Amino acid sequence: MTVSGTGAEETGATGPTGPTGGQDRAAPGGAPDDAGPSARTTVTVIIPTFNEAGNVEELLTRLAAALPAHLDCAALFVDDSTDDTPAAIERAALTCPFPVNVIHREVATGGLSGAVVEGLKAAASEWIVVMDADLQHPPSLMPELVETGRRAGADLVVASRYAGGGSHAGLSGRYRVAVSRASTLVTKGLFPSALRGISDPMSGFFAIRRSTVHANTDILKPLGYKILLELAIRCRPRAVAEVPFSFQERYAGESKSTVREGMRFLAHLVSLRTATPVARMVVFGLIGLTGFLPNLGALAALTATGLHYLPAEILANQFGVLWNFLFIDLLLFRDRRGHRHWADRLGRFALLANADLVLRIPLIALLVDGMGMAVLPATAVALLTTFVIRFVATELLVYLPRRGGQEKEAGADASHASGKREKEGTP
């Protein structure tokens, strides 16, 4: 069948997309499941793939060997590959004891996270497990994730490299270990409440109740590869549990880790952290402060050439405006860029930034001469007032969402333009 809005096609290799008809068994308040360990449980294993032809057969073999009798399992590959991965999945599915399906996406919107969201929308089981195809996430741990969730009454169970007994031994080199550690610390520092109880928010291996995520799929704005972070912050599972695991070495193929994916991750962090207007205003101001650096540098360079300081001030201000626009456009309003051309956005932004100077001087004069305020307090009030006006005007006139509230997904314009299909492994 065709998956709405993605250009993706779903093909059944051995059976239906996933187990259907199951109802979540968690009691109100997140109490443990009433059914005993022998009760049958349905689970869909979502596996996003990008050129993983050499891994899928071994993955399905290990997954089948690990399944206990009471788990009704189905595998759902969401594939963005440019190689013969779909054909490899079809061959491996012929001998697999549980249903295997593939959703192949022509446009890899949202990267790996977008692929997982497509799988979440298609799954109809009680539990959903997300894991990578490269066998760095051991398939033998999948049943334990689900059973831990059932016993503890948890909505989300994370396979953690940093819980007691876990290990990141499969990470290649000290650099990736350092990046992983730093990313974890920064992320937990930015979202202390939403990530409470999650020691490894960068993990791509977890189990989640369908009831926790299904009603929230429309608010997910995936970008890059950190889907667990997206789900934990936007869906807010009531109870979280962890299972330690040892991160393995890649079985076959090459890592998809790139600097670009790292930048997309940073952009995703900013997008999640600035979901509220107040938070956006704070980041808007912080970016504006950094704009003084290119402004002053340009001013020094221009005056050193003998240019009069007044035209030098005007020209130097444009360097600061361009600096601010680049960071605000790439980080703060990344998910609102699709409805207006970049040149239009830049022109509007520059007009507002320069109008700030025109407004500020008369306002200071009014406060000083008309209201008897001292110069310094008047300047502070004028700066604050014009800053708020500029932020609101920028949001409304430069990054106004499309009618109906339907904004393009973060990075979708770049994905559509390039046609590239990217998938990132866990750092």
* Residues 49 and 79 sit within 8 Å (Cβ to Cβ): yes
- β 41-49/2-3 pair status: unpaired
Same domain, 261 and 293: no
CA angle 158, 160, 166 (to 5 degrees): 145
Same domain, 292 and 210: no
Q: Is residue 189 part of a domain?
A: yes
Q: Is residue 179 part of a domain?
A: yes
Q: Average pLDDT of 141-160? A: 94
Domain end point (choices 245, 273, 301): 273
Please, which pLDDT band fits residue 280 given cuts at 50, 70 and 90?
A: confident
378: domain range? 277-413
CATH classification at residue 89: 3.90.550.10
Same domain, 247 and 188: yes
- What was the pLDDT predicted at 251? 60
pTM of the model: 0.63
pLDDT at 421 over 60: no
Measure the CA–CA gap between 131 and 46, rounded to whole angstroms: 7
- What was the pLDDT predicted at 258? 57
- β 127-130/41-49 pair status: parallel
Same domain, 152 and 207: yes
Beta-carbon neighbour count of residue 168 at 10 Å? Answer: 18
Same domain, 112 and 237: yes
- Non-local CB neighbours of 113 within 8 Å, separated by 6+ positions: 222, 223, 224, 225, 226, 227, 230
Please, which pLDDT band fits residue 247 given cuts at 50, 70 and 90?
A: confident
Same domain, 238 and 290: no
* Residues 33 and 150 sit within 8 Å (Cβ to Cβ): yes
Q: Is residue 426 part of a domain?
A: no
Measure the CA–CA gap between 360 and 368, rounded to whole angstroms: 12
Measure the CA–CA gap between 276 and 272, rounded to whole angstroms: 9
Same domain, 293 and 250: no
- What was the pLDDT predicted at 7? 43
Same domain, 265 and 340: no
Q: Is residue 427 part of a domain?
A: no
Q: For residue 46, what are the β-bridge partners?
A: 76, 130
Domain end point (choices 234, 251, 273): 273
DSSP state of 27: B
Q: Is residue 370 part of a domain?
A: yes
- Picking from 152, 135, 114, 115, the residue whose alpha carbon sits closest to that of residue 55 is 135
Determine which of 59-63, 192-196, 332-336, 395-399 has the lowest per-residue pLDDT on average.
Answer: 332-336
For the chain, how are helix, strand and coil distributed in percent, rounded to 5?
Answer: 50, 10, 35
Structure tokens at 195: 């990530």
- Picking from 101, 141, 142, the residue whose alpha carbon sits closest to that of residue 123 is 101
Structure tokens at 29: 């308040």
- What was the pLDDT predicted at 225? 64
| Nearest 10 degrees: Cα torsion 189, 193, 196, 200 | -40
Domain end point (choices 233, 249, 273): 273
Q: 194-214 burial, b if ≥16 CB within 10 A, otherwise e? A: bbeebbbbbbbbbbbbbebbb
Q: Is 37 or 127 the better-scoring residue by pLDDT?
A: 127
- What was the pLDDT predicted at 187? 78
- 378: amino acid identity, one letter: A
- Picking from 206, 197, 203, 143, the residue whose alpha carbon sits closest to that of residue 171 is 203
Q: Is residue 424 part of a domain?
A: no
Same domain, 283 and 267: no
Determine which of 5-19, 48-62, 72-86, 376-390 has the lowest per-residue pLDDT on average.
Answer: 5-19
- Non-local CB neighbours of 109 within 8 Å, separated by 6+ positions: 6, 409, 412, 415, 416
Q: Average pLDDT of 371-393? A: 82
Q: Is residue 329 part of a domain?
A: yes
Structure tokens at 310: 């007044």
pLDDT at 49 over 50: yes
Same domain, 244 and 302: no
Same domain, 316 and 213: no
Helix, strand or coil, per DSSP, at residue 95: coil
Measure the CA–CA gap between 322 and 325, rounded to whole angstroms: 5
Number of domains comprising the chain: 2
- What was the pLDDT predicted at 406? 43
Q: Average pLDDT of 302-329? A: 85
Q: Is residue 21 part of a domain?
A: yes
Q: Average pLDDT of 16-28? A: 37
Measure the CA–CA gap between 147 and 224, rounded to whole angstroms: 29
Same domain, 26 and 164: yes
Measure the CA–CA gap between 335 and 108, rounded to whole angstroms: 16
Q: Label residue 50 exposed, middle or buried (CB < 10 Å: 0-12, 13-18, 19+).
A: buried
Q: Average pLDDT of 406-416? A: 40
